Amino acid sequence: MLTIPCPWCGDRHESEFFCGGAYEKARPARPETLSDEAWVDYVTVSPNPAGPLVERWWHQRGCGLWFFLERDTLTHDIRPLFDGEDHEPR
């Protein structure tokens, strides 16, 4: 079981959250220039490193807001990435 630190609500059980996936995948600047294979890779392949990964999380059964955190896929250690007002990754 994970304890997820919501920037607004504090530490809560993982069952209150939905993981929106990896954040590290930037949208191609000019998608019309990509090959079909490259576009399919962008749309369907998610990063899955053995180690730290920045993810988007939604506090679905709480405040209803999205935020980012870093989760180690091997140890499940969680590091909050939010600070200030924007709650974007540092």
CA distances from 5 to 9, 14, 17, 70, 73 (A): 8, 9, 10, 11, 17
Query: 43-48: long-range contacts (C-beta < 8 A, 24 or more apart)?
Result: 46/21, 46/22, 47/22, 48/73
Please tell me whether residue 62 binds Zn ion under the rule CB under 5 A: yes
Residue count, binding to Zn ion (CB under 5 A): 6
Please tell me whether residue 5 binds Zn ion under the rule CB under 5 A: no
Among 8, 18, 24, 79, binds Zn ion (CB under 5 A): 8
Residue nearer to Zn ion on the CB measure, 10 or 51: 10
Judged by the rule CB under 5 A, the positions of this chain that interact with Zn ion are 6, 8-9, 59, 62-63
